[in-house]
Amino acid sequence: MAARRKNNQTTKIQPKRARNLSPGTVTYTGKKTTTVTKLDIIDYSKEHYHRFETNDIHEAFNYEDSTNITWINVNGLSNTNDIITLGNHFELHPLIQEDIVSTYQRPKIDEYEEYLFIVFKMLHYDDEKLTNEHISLVMGKDYVLTFQEAEGDVFEDLRERLEHGKGRIRGAGADYLMFAILDAVVDNYFSVVEFLSNKVELLEDKLFDDKEDTNITQEIQDLKKEILKIRKAVMPLREVINRLEKIENPLIEERTNKYIRDLYDNIIQVNESVEIYREMIWGLMDMYMTTISNKMNEVMKVLTIMASIFIPLTFLAGIYGMNFDNIPELHYKNSYFYLLGVMALVFLGMIWYFKRKKWL
Amino acid sequence: MAARRKNNQTTKIQPKRARNLSPGTVTYTGKKTTTVTKLDIIDYSKEHYHRFETNDIHEAFNYEDSTNITWINVNGLSNTNDIITLGNHFELHPLIQEDIVSTYQRPKIDEYEEYLFIVFKMLHYDDEKLTNEHISLVMGKDYVLTFQEAEGDVFEDLRERLEHGKGRIRGAGADYLMFAILDAVVDNYFSVVEFLSNKVELLEDKLFDDKEDTNITQEIQDLKKEILKIRKAVMPLREVINRLEKIENPLIEERTNKYIRDLYDNIIQVNESVEIYREMIWGLMDMYMTTISNKMNEVMKVLTIMASIFIPLTFLAGIYGMNFDNIPELHYKNSYFYLLGVMALVFLGMIWYFKRKKWL
Amino acid sequence: MAARRKNNQTTKIQPKRARNLSPGTVTYTGKKTTTVTKLDIIDYSKEHYHRFETNDIHEAFNYEDSTNITWINVNGLSNTNDIITLGNHFELHPLIQEDIVSTYQRPKIDEYEEYLFIVFKMLHYDDEKLTNEHISLVMGKDYVLTFQEAEGDVFEDLRERLEHGKGRIRGAGADYLMFAILDAVVDNYFSVVEFLSNKVELLEDKLFDDKEDTNITQEIQDLKKEILKIRKAVMPLREVINRLEKIENPLIEERTNKYIRDLYDNIIQVNESVEIYREMIWGLMDMYMTTISNKMNEVMKVLTIMASIFIPLTFLAGIYGMNFDNIPELHYKNSYFYLLGVMALVFLGMIWYFKRKKWL
Amino acid sequence: MAARRKNNQTTKIQPKRARNLSPGTVTYTGKKTTTVTKLDIIDYSKEHYHRFETNDIHEAFNYEDSTNITWINVNGLSNTNDIITLGNHFELHPLIQEDIVSTYQRPKIDEYEEYLFIVFKMLHYDDEKLTNEHISLVMGKDYVLTFQEAEGDVFEDLRERLEHGKGRIRGAGADYLMFAILDAVVDNYFSVVEFLSNKVELLEDKLFDDKEDTNITQEIQDLKKEILKIRKAVMPLREVINRLEKIENPLIEERTNKYIRDLYDNIIQVNESVEIYREMIWGLMDMYMTTISNKMNEVMKVLTIMASIFIPLTFLAGIYGMNFDNIPELHYKNSYFYLLGVMALVFLGMIWYFKRKKWL
Amino acid sequence: MAARRKNNQTTKIQPKRARNLSPGTVTYTGKKTTTVTKLDIIDYSKEHYHRFETNDIHEAFNYEDSTNITWINVNGLSNTNDIITLGNHFELHPLIQEDIVSTYQRPKIDEYEEYLFIVFKMLHYDDEKLTNEHISLVMGKDYVLTFQEAEGDVFEDLRERLEHGKGRIRGAGADYLMFAILDAVVDNYFSVVEFLSNKVELLEDKLFDDKEDTNITQEIQDLKKEILKIRKAVMPLREVINRLEKIENPLIEERTNKYIRDLYDNIIQVNESVEIYREMIWGLMDMYMTTISNKMNEVMKVLTIMASIFIPLTFLAGIYGMNFDNIPELHYKNSYFYLLGVMALVFLGMIWYFKRKKWL
């Protein structure tokens, strides 16, 4: 009964918001405060590929004008000045700059004249704890900007495909790159849901184990929180992708639409899985209640059998332990043995009774 | 309390996706890895019927140009090269080729200029375990392609109807063949739901049996997973058929529409049955809880009756087992028999009391 | 714990479908196999009324051409040849002919050029068991055909009104007759729901009775199935009537519309009642759980009171039953009576304690 | 366990319908059968106010043609002839006449060329029992007819405002009077919900009382029925008012629309409160379950503590009550007192153990 | 079991309405009856800032005509004459004047020709109790009126931003001020939800504590009421902001729309958090049930172990406490010690048995 949890932080659902600030104020609200903003720039076309890492925000500006597609990935949002510098260079609206560093912002899509702005969440299990990272994406005519809270992401395969020119990606435009990034995120959701599904199955097995696990209630509650957290990332992204499929924006080429529709199919599927696991987890509590009740039934049966057999026998022994002067049976030669026989019969009768009731 | 299950695999809901691949990459994600791709080709018209089985993918190409309707059924998706060859011959879009072998793909319909592409699931109980098989269908002007993971399907009756020219099928076009295939699948859903309904009724009966079945919770949970699995196949197919009814595509003749509307009625009915059984299964847990509680009540009553009768009697015996020098009653001649009488009265009074309370 | 049910058949929700048949094949799927098809023909106008019963399907043909309204009611669907003969004479589409004898078909409405086709269910309690009968209705310019599985229906009052020319019915057209038939069915739903409501109230009363009714869980489950069955008949019919209200069909006169809107109000009301009783029945399980728990509480209290009073007293008696050489109290003159006094005090103290806790 | 209820009638949800009658037949279906139909006529304009009560239906006809606004309130629906006479005079459609006396009719609005017809329910707590009364309203160019089952209503304040010319009412038209009547009814719903809220709070308090209230389950169930009854009155009226706001009818002046929109705000608010209390009442059952379980826990603890303390002690006493020839301890001088000491230690140890477990 | 609550008032959900008044009557329905109406007037433009507090309602009139933006905040609604004076000066519709002082009014937006009228709720935790305050806002061409029940609000940061000219606010129009006020309120909802989330986590921890907290049910119920109260404030405001985003009103400038869309994102997020916590709180009851059951299991185990071990041993002792003349074992020299050995074996066997069952 002493199940304590130490890491409420990670299962915290309610985001902290930078409150009481003038709307449009660029204030970082996350927990990862790497002081340095790292840029990871990939500049490519069908024939050309160049990757470049730097801490100097201004180096990014060189790539903008090239005819190649440029993907500028920014790691670290705590240095808001860098974000503002970069944002102003790319002429991002103050509200966008605010959203980029507001880690609480829920997934959404905003259309501007020169670019599309998408906010979404990257989920990963970090040492058994589900953490989510706030990511923003700006897609312009020939560039894609992505902003992450910290280094380490789910885009490594994508970068490899870019480097080795696998798939259609090198020949396609910035819109396809945007799709590929979202596709990597949705793919990652599949992994997360699968990991969660394993946790659910493990807990289900644990439920039927005989061991005393009084913290199962806590574990179920934690699973509930995790599934709610995943849902909070997946459900609005589904809407985002749905809108992405429908908007008619010159930035998105006709041929990319088929891929986005495919992506929408995938996120719907993730969403359905999330709903199913949600239902399963909610059902776990009922299952747990029945196993508790079953265990109690078993305990009660042992008590009832022991008490029902030995209490009457003890009474019989008590009868002949009385000190009345005149208890005739006490003086017959074999009455002790007869009584033992009667007791044996009572014992066997009880056993037979409980066997018939299937309690034994 | 030792209910173990051995076959988590089959009740696994979460599909595995071939992750981190460039979209459009044709990679088989299923478990059935028959190395050989088998083709089952039926070429027919009102007067003509020819059935032909082969392992050589190129033999299929001969039938394409004929004025007859050609149904090419492909068994085995693990040899992706064959799929690509066939796909390229019929000019299938790379995304379609990917979907054909991606067994995780949820049911959907895609309209292309030259053909319709439909993905759906075939369900069957395999040795008491519900398995689902991924099927894709491409319907062109005078051909239908179907892709299955393995041999063995629910289309045997349909093939027979084709061979013997029963019903309208031989005189109708490829659109009617597509409808007939979907109709066979939906018919099969009826059987699956009926099978499930039997399992539910069996479990319901089991609930009221007196035997110790501590794994009923597990069985209910497994039923929940099965119904969710069926739902995952039925619900999106309902949308597919709904859309099929509404699209105005030159590939679908006017007269076939009535049949598709009928099919839609049927899938709605399957869906309603699934929802009803889902509710029933969820209710089973409540029922199980009450039966457990009823059993516990019964156990408690036995304990209470035994203890309430014999503990006071034992106390009475204990009184006269005391060794005080001066206990006058001990020395009266018949006090032992009087006490036995009192004990009998107490016993009968208790019996009467419990009878009145209807615990006996 | 031995509640057995013998009549699963009637609470079976899942309909059997004639599977694996070519769509449009006319095959009877019901259980009532009266070999003879009986026709009950009513031919009427404002001045004229003629009722005629026959087994010869061809006699129906004479009435078709008359300027009167003709209502041909067909009892018995197992002789499909008769249905086909009649269907062909009235030029019913093969799919309609199939639906007429497919007892599994859910309520629906189909518009054809020459007639309207409506499928619905007639519910009645037959010897405490809820059964549903499949009815089809074809409404043409001056005739109405109805098809029932067996004789006996809810239209007797309607027939009487027709015979005695009560109400507007004799002067109105076939569309009003169709409305009157549906109205009789919906009226009947009210009775069925009322009957169910009585069952719910009876079960509620039973819950609070002290008797051992271990089959209450079963009865609640059966009620759940009945309400689901009613719902399955009512909900789609609501949609049918809603559509009937909206379609603009020359077969339906303007002045009949007001009546159909009224009918729609009624079916909505039936539907609401069904939803309310569904909620009530679902709540019964919770109620039952609390009554079980209350009973267990009572049992436990008796046990606790008996054990708590007599176990300490028995211990006291045990003390002075010991055989130590040196127990000074044993030899005092009145110590036995003092001990009896102490025991009485303990007894009364316990009684007082339990009274204060309100357990007595 | 003997909670009996005597007044099922008032908690009956399912309305009785006059069945098997030709649609449009005017038959009273309520329970209040006052033989006399009372009319309460108010004739008013900005300058003029006249109130008049009569039993003669024909006196109402005099007021119709006046240029004043006339409100004819009819009490008593059992004398259907009077209703028909009045209805025919005002040229009410037969279906309306039927609805006026059909107390089962759910709230609705019907638009006719010359008038609007609205059906709604008046709720009031009558001796702790919630009863609903069927009211119909016909609003014409310069008159409003209201039909009630019995005398006594919620319009007294409204009549007073009319008499003393308070507010806008005397200067406004019949449409404002209709609004004012509906407003009084919705206001009354607020009182009813408030009354219910008090009952919920009282029951909540009762739940935590220690007294044996085995009929709480019954009371919760009755509250459920009451809230369902209120919902059945409020929800359709919400739709009615919503439609009233939207219809563009020359009978309703532009300036009245603002008031109707306000009324719609109010009925939405009632509806939300109803939903909230519904949820609260449903939650009560869970609360009750936990209090029962808590009580059982308490009972079990008393039993466990008493048994765990005294059963081992009794065993110890039993040891030295044995009659073996050779039990050395029996003959030592102070062994009795040593044993008493050991017993005291066991006793205290147990007390300490249960204290540590916080069961004491 | 004696958890009493003293402050039902604050958890009261049902609002009191000033009943039976003519619609449009301005009657204060709140509880805060400060007799004085205080005005807090801020008059500003890009260059100019003036703040002024007064009790004289007429002083507000001077600011109306200025070209600056004027924010008149009214504290105290109980003096309805002041409200009417002010309302008439600004030509507010009688219904608006009624809504301003009707604290029960749910959040809504009304469009008038000259101004927008918005009603919303300010939530704050007051000494652990959630209270809500009724606020109305009128936004005209160059003024904003806000009406509060009492002094003390969430706009202090906003006033500071106004004073020091931070952010865009001083240069923007009255529409931006309205947005900023709503933004402050929504920001405050975030705090309230966060506070609630802490209460939920605290209660969750408490659940697993071993202490006897029989009032947890009450606390969960109170949390349910709080979340329902928050929901009642948030949900309609979401609709209000949604409509605010969509209406095309000349009073709202194009550039403000982006901010309102952002605000809408935020209120959706609050709403989602509310729904999630609602689900969590509902789940708490289940968790509590399982912890109660677990505790009962533990209690039962102690009882069963104690009884099962000592009842058989006591029986054995009882056997040899009998007074039969002929019990051979009594006379053997070491039989007492042999019996002690047997008892020790029984004892150890029981311990081993319970250990194996993991009850110890």
Domain extent listing, chain B: 5-13+22-290, 298-356
B321: nearest CB among A294, A300, A318: A318
In chain C, which residue's Cα lies nearest the Cα of D107? Answer: C265
Distance CA C299, CA B358 (A): 11
Sequence length of chain C is 360
Q: Tell me how close the Cα of A54 comes to any Cα of chain E, in angstroms.
A: 32
Provide the pLDDT for residue B4: 38
Contact E290 A295 (CB under 8 A): no
pLDDT value at C304 more than 90: yes
Rounded to whole angstroms, how far apart are CA atoms D302 and C307?
A: 10
What chains are in contact with B, requiring at least 3 Cβ pairs below 8 Å?
Answer: A, C
Closest to E19 (Cβ–Cβ): which among D187, D321, D357?
A: D187
List % helix, strand, coil for chain D (3-state, nearest 5).
Answer: 55, 15, 30
**Test mutation, E297, E301, E350, chain A, max A CBs within 10 A:** E297
- What is the structure's pLDDT at A6? 38
For all residues of chain D together, what is the average pLDDT? 85
Q: Which residues of D touch E8 (CB under 8 A)?
A: 201
Range D192-208 average pLDDT:
87
Chains that touch D (3 or more CB pairs under 8 A): C, E
Kindly state the greatest CA–CA separation across chain C.
120
What's the CA gap between B74 and B143, in Å, rounded? Answer: 13
Contact: E292, D297; criterion CB under 8 Å: yes
Maximum average pLDDT range among C202-211, C252-261, E123-132: C252-261
What does the alpha-carbon distance between residue E291 and residue D297 come to, in Å, rounded to a whole number?
A: 11
Would you say residue D332 has pLDDT above 80?
A: yes
When CB atoms are compared, the residue of E289, E302, E314 closest to D314 is E314
Q: Alpha-carbon distance D304 to D311, whole Å?
A: 10
The more confidently predicted of residues A141 and E23 is: A141
Yes or no, beta carbons of B300 and C296 under 8 Å apart: yes
- Tokens 């006479």, residue located: D85
User: B337 with A319: CB under 8 angstroms?
Assistant: no
Residues 6+ apart with CB under 8 A from B327: A323, B320, C336
Shortest CA gap B80–chain C (Å)? 32
Residue numbers in C near D359 (CB within 8 A): none
Amino acid identity of E80? T
Question: What is the number of CB-based contacts under 8 A between chain A and chain E?
Answer: 169
Average pLDDT over residues D301-311: 94
Nearest to E335 among D168, D314, D324 (CB): D324
- With a cut of 50, say whether residue D3 has pLDDT above it: no
Question: Residue A290: which of B288, B302, B310 has the nearest Cβ?
Answer: B288
Rounded alpha-carbon distances, angstroms, from residue B260 to B169, B273, C326: 14, 20, 101
Cα–Cα distance for residue pair C264/C266, rounded to 1 Å: 5
Q: Is the pLDDT of residue B169 over 80?
A: yes
Any CB–CB contact under 8 A between D328 and chain C?
A: no
Out of C276, C294, C321, name the one closest to residue D317 (CB): C321
Cβ pair D204:E211 closer than 8 A: no
User: Domain C298-356, CATH 3.30.200.190 — does that match?
Assistant: no
List of residues 6+ apart from A91 with CB closer than 8 A: A114
C-alpha separations of E167 from A234, E50, E73, E172, E178 in Å: 34, 18, 21, 10, 15
Which residue in chain E has the smallest CA separation from D353?
E302
Q: Which of residues 205-244 of E touch D (CB under 8 A)?
A: 210-212, 214-215, 217-218, 220-221, 224-225, 228, 232
pLDDT above 60: residue B332: yes
pLDDT of A291 higher than 90:
no
| Residue E12: per-residue pLDDT | 44
Q: Could C297 and D299 be called an inter-chain contact, meaning their C-beta atoms sit closer than 8 Å?
A: yes
Q: Which of D186, D319, D339, D356 to mutate to test the interface with E (most CBs of E within 10 A)?
A: D319
Q: Return the percentage of chain D with pLDDT > 90, whole number.
A: 38
Phi first, then psi, for residue D175 (nearest 5°) are -65, -35
Per-residue pLDDT, averaged over E21-32, amounts to 74
What DSSP line would sit under C5-21, residue for residue? -S-HHHH--SPP---S-
Distance from C-alpha of A284 to C-alpha of A221, rounded to nearest angstrom: 10
Quote ipTM for the complex.
0.75
Residue E218 with chain D: CB contacts under 8 Å: 208
Give how far the C-alpha of residue E147 lies from the chain's centroid of Cα atoms, to the nearest Å: 22
Cβ contact D238:D271 at 8 Å = yes
Q: For residues B344 and E55, give the distance between their C-alpha atoms in angstroms, rounded to a whole number.
A: 90
At C46 the pLDDT is 86
Find which of B7, B9, B218, B299 to mutate to test the A interface (most A CBs within 10 Å of its CB).
B299
C-contacting chains (≥3 CB pairs under 8 Å): B, D
Q: Is E283 in CB contact (< 8 Å) with chain A?
A: yes
Q: How many residues does chain A have?
A: 360
State the burial class of residue C112 (Cβ atoms within 10 Å of its Cβ: 0-12, 13-18, 19+).
middle
Amino acid at B70: T
Say how far apart CA B301 and CA E67 lie, in whole Å: 86
A120-131 b/e (C-beta count within 10 Å ≥ 16 → b): bbbbbeeeeebb
Residue to mutate among C4, C10, C16, C20, with most B CBs inside 10 A, is C20
Residues 295-314 of C with CB under 8 A from D: 295-298, 300-301, 303-304, 307-308, 311-312, 314
CA–CA gap between residue A42 and residue A144 (Å, rounded): 10
Percentage, residues of chain E above pLDDT 90 = 38
Q: Which residues in chain D are contacts of E14 at CB distance < 8 A?
A: 193-194, 197, 273, 277
Whether E15 has a pLDDT exceeding 60, the answer reads no
How close does chain B come to C12, measured CA to CA in Å? 9
Cα D168 from Cα E321, distance rounded (Å): 98
B24 has a chain C CB within 8 A of its CB: no
pLDDT value of position D21: 65
Kindly report the three-state secondary structure assignment for every residue of D186-238: HHHHHHHHHHHHHHHHHHHHHHCCCCCCCCHHHHHHHHHHHHHHHHHHHHHHH
The predicted structure's pLDDT at residue C291: 86
Tell me the per-residue pLDDT of E199-218, one tens digit each, with 9 for 90 and over: 888 888 888 776 655 678 88
- pLDDT (tens digit per residue) in E216-244: 888 888 898 899 889 989 999 998 999 99
Strand order in the sheet with D49-54: D49-54, D38-44, D69-75, D143-148, D129-139, D116-126, D108-111
3-state secondary structure of B161: helix
Whole-Å CA distances, B332 to B329, B337, B338: 6, 10, 10
Contacts of E323 in chain A (CB under 8 A): 320-323, 327, 330
Contact list, B104 vs chain A (CB under 8 Å): 269
C322/D339 Cβ within 8 A: yes
Q: Is C286 on the interface with D (CB under 8 A)?
A: yes
Residues 6+ apart with CB under 8 A from D244: D109, D116, D118, D252, D260
∠ CA C225-C229-C230, nearest 5°, is 120
Q: What pLDDT score was predicted for residue B65?
A: 64
Interface test with E, best of A239, A282, A310 (most E CBs within 10 A): A310
Q: Which amino acid is at A33?
A: T
pLDDT of residue D246: 87
CATH of range A5-13+22-290; options 2.60.120.560, 3.30.1340.10, 3.30.530.20, 3.30.460.20: 3.30.460.20
Strand partners, D108: D119
CB contact (8 A) between residue B20 and residue A157: yes
Mean pLDDT to the nearest integer, E86-113: 88
CB contact residues (below 8 A), chain D span 161-200, against chain E: 161, 166-169, 179-180, 183-184, 187, 190-191, 193-194, 197
Token pair belonging to A193: 């849901």
Query: Which residues have a Cβ under 8 Å from the Cβ of C322 and sit 6 or more positions away?
Result: B323, D317, D320, D321, D336, D339
The tokens for B157 are 């009756």
Distance separating alpha carbons of residues E162 and E154, to the nearest angstrom: 14
Summarize pLDDT for E309-331 with one digit per residue, the tens.
999 999 999 999 999 999 999 99
Contact state of E14 with D197 under an 8 Å Cβ cutoff: yes
- Chain A contacts of B330, Cβ < 8 Å? 323-325
Q: Report chain B residues whose CB lies below 8 A from the CB of A283.
A: 221, 224, 282, 285
Q: Are strands C143-148 and C69-75 parallel, antiparallel or unpaired?
A: parallel
pLDDT score of D296 more than 60: yes
Given B287, B294, B308, which is nearest C303 (Cβ)? Answer: B308
Output the pLDDT for position A65. Answer: 64
Assess whether pLDDT exceeds 70 at residue D2.
Answer: no
Q: Is the pLDDT of residue C7 over 60?
A: no
Q: Which residues of D touch C301 (CB under 8 A)?
A: 299
Helix D94-101 crosses helix C256-319 at what angle (to 10 degrees)?
20
Q: Decide if A279 touches B, using CB distance below 8 A.
A: yes
The CA distance from B265 to E140, in Å, is: 56
Separation between Cα atoms, residue D76 and residue D133, nearest integer Å: 11
Which range has the worst mean pLDDT, B14-23, B266-275, C341-350, D132-141?
Answer: B14-23
CA D179 to chain centre: 24
Q: What is the pTM of this model?
A: 0.81
E261 interaction partners in chain A (CB closer than 8 Å): 110
pLDDT in tens, E249-276: 889 988 898 889 889 988 988 998 898 8
